[in-house]
């Protein structure tokens, strides 16, 4: 809920409490607008969540947040320059959340550049920009969702552990060459050039979770080779693949996925070949403990669709008799 207030009582409350305030979740529209950055800087604030407001004229030399660790901006109007200056004013910032911000770019500024040596976790949702460059030496968690970007570049020192990309359109994605510490890669509803993407994460020998869900390849001839996945990611324990990848997920080779203990497989449109695909993947996971089947079941089902679903169920029952040690879980939507 967005509250509309006259500014005077809000300012009075902030002035009264700011010396002891540690967390502020501010979702108030006032007349006139209250400059929260000005009113709450130089204090002991550790968490600031700002929504449906505007931020202008940031002066990092004066408006400092020496203790701020978490900053969230939702539906906030701010220029790219002010956002960059705001991060400069937060020397201890660890968590940054940007949700559907209205970011103004100047004519002379084609790239939004953010720089933070302390930042560890960033979540970006519903952002549309030409170029977004993030320089963060300590970044561990990067999550992009519902974004449209021409280019995204991460400059760091190899600290990234978690990469999540959900429903993002980006022509050029660069997370750097030093990805040895990457442990989780979760990609969904995303069009990628697999060779280039794979090249980015291929050095991640510590990768434990790989999720490719609803992924579309830019080139129809591209293939996700399980043999290569097995060799390059020896510590992989959780593997999630959607049936959209059946034609581009090569089952060739013999190298097993020794450490995969959880296998998640799903479909958007089921076919008779799905159970064969599941069987092929099960054979590659000798130490599997849990199989999760995720499916989309339409509300209106034809007789043919019911037959396919029934046939699949029977096939899975027969198949799992060979894998009595494996727990099976079904998740339908």
Give residue-wise pLDDT tens across range 163-177: 999 999 888 999 988
The pLDDT of 260-285, averaged and rounded, is 85
C-alpha span between 45 and 42 (Å, rounded): 8
The pLDDT tens digits for 133-165 are 999 999 999 999 999 999 999 999 989 999 999
SS3 279: helix
Dihedrals phi, psi of 263, to nearest 5 degrees: -120, 120
Q: Domain residues for 115?
A: 5-238
Residue 298 in this model has a pLDDT that exceeds 80: no
Task: For residue range 300-313, list pLDDT tens digits in order.
Answer: 667 777 787 788 78
Confidence of residue 4 (pLDDT cuts 50, 70, 90): low
Residue 289 lies in a domain: no
As given in the structure block, the two tokens for residue 120 are 């560890």
Asked whether residue 283 is domain-assigned, the answer is no
Question: In this prediction, what percent of the chain has a pLDDT beyond 90?
Answer: 43
Is 165 within 8 Å of 189 (Cβ atoms)? no
Residue 293: other Cβ atoms inside 10 A: 20
- Higher confidence at residue 186 or residue 13? 186
Mean pLDDT of the chain: 86
Is the pLDDT assigned to residue 128 strictly greater than 50? yes
- Does 183 reside within a domain? yes
| Predicted local distance difference test score (pLDDT) of residue 15 | 79
**Does 130 map to a domain?**
yes
Higher-confidence position of 171 and 39: 171
* H-run or E-run covering 103: strand 102-104
- Nearest in space to 94 (alpha carbons), one of 113, 67, 73, 76: 67
Residue 301 lies in a domain: no
Give the number of domains in the chain.
Answer: 1
Q: Is 220 a residue whose pLDDT tops 80?
A: no
Residue 170 or 109, more confident: 170
Q: How confident is the model at residue 34 (pLDDT cuts 50, 70, 90)?
A: confident
187 within some domain: yes
Of the candidate ranges 2-16, 23-37, 234-248, 252-266, the one whose mean pLDDT is the lowest: 2-16
Helix (H, G, I), strand (E, B) or coil at 296: coil
Answer yes or no: is 67 within a domain.
yes
pLDDT in the model for residue 2: 46
pLDDT of residue 3: 52
What is d(CA 23, CA 247) in angstroms, rounded to the nearest whole number?
50
Enter the pTM of the model: 0.89
Which helix (H) or strand (E) covers residue 76, if one does?
none
Write down the residue that tokens 């990609």 correspond to: 187
Q: What is the pLDDT of residues 67-105, one digit of tens each?
A: 999 999 999 999 999 999 999 999 999 999 999 999 988
pLDDT at position 37:
84
Contacts of residue 286, defined as CB under 8 A and 6 or more positions apart, other chains included, come to 256, 258
DSSP string computed for 143-194: EEES-EEEEEEEE-SS---EEEEES-EEEEEE--S--TT--EEEEEEEEE-H
Closest CA to 194 of 167, 165, 215: 215
Is 142 within 8 Å of 154 (Cβ atoms)?
A: yes
Work out the percent of the chain whose per-residue pLDDT is above 70: 91
Residue 284 is given by DSSP the state: T
Instruction: Over range 189-201, report the average pLDDT.
Output: 80
In whole angstroms, how far apart are CA 304 and each of 272, 307, 313? 11, 5, 14
Residue 221 has pLDDT above 60, yes or no: no
Residue 245's SS3 state is helix
- Burial of residue 98 (number of CB atoms within 10 Å: 0-12, 13-18, 19+): buried
Domain presence at residue 279: no
The pLDDT of residue 297: 75
């Amino acid at each position: 809920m967005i509250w509309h207030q006259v500014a005077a009582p809000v300012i009075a409350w902030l002035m009264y409490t700011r010396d002891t305030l540690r967390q502020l979740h501010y979702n108030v529209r006032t007349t006139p607008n209250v400059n929260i950055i000005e009113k709450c800087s130089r204090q002991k604030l550790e968490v600031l969540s700002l929504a449906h407001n505007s931020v202008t004229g940031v002066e990092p030399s004066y408006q400092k947040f020496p203790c701020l660790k978490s900053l969230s901006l939702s539906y906030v109007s701010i220029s790219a320059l002010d956002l960059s200056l705001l991060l400069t004013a937060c020397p201890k910032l660890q968590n940054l959340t940007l949700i559907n911000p209205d970011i103004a770019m100047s004519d002379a500024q084609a790239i939004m550049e953010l720089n933070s040596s302390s930042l560890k976790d960033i979540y970006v949702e519903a952002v549309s920009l030409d170029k977004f460059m993030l320089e963060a030496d300590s970044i561990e968690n990067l999550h992009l969702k519902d974004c449209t970007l021409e280019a995204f570049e991460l400059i760091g020192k190899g600290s990234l552990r978690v990469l999540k990309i959900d429903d993002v359109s980006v022509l050029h994605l660069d997370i750097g060459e030093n990805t040895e510490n990457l442990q989780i890669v979760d990609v969904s509803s995303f069009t990628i050039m697999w060779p280039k993407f794979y090249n980015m994460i291929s050095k991640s020998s510590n990768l434990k979770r790989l999720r490719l869900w609803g992924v579309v390849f830019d080139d129809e001839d591209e293939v996700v080779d399980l043999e290569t996945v097995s060799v390059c990611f020896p510590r992989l324990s959780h593997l999630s693949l959607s049936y959209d990848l059946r034609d581009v997920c090569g089952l060739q080779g013999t190298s097993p996925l020794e450490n995969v203990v959880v296998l998640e497989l799903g479909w958007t449109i089921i076919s008779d070949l799905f159970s064969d695909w599941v069987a092929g993947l099960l054979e590659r996971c000798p130490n599997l403990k849990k199989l999760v089947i995720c499916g989309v079941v339409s509300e209106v089902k034809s007789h043919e669709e019911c037959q396919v679903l029934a046939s699949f169920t029977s096939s899975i029952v027969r198949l799992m008799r060979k894998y009595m040690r494996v727990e099976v879980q079904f998740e339908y939507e």
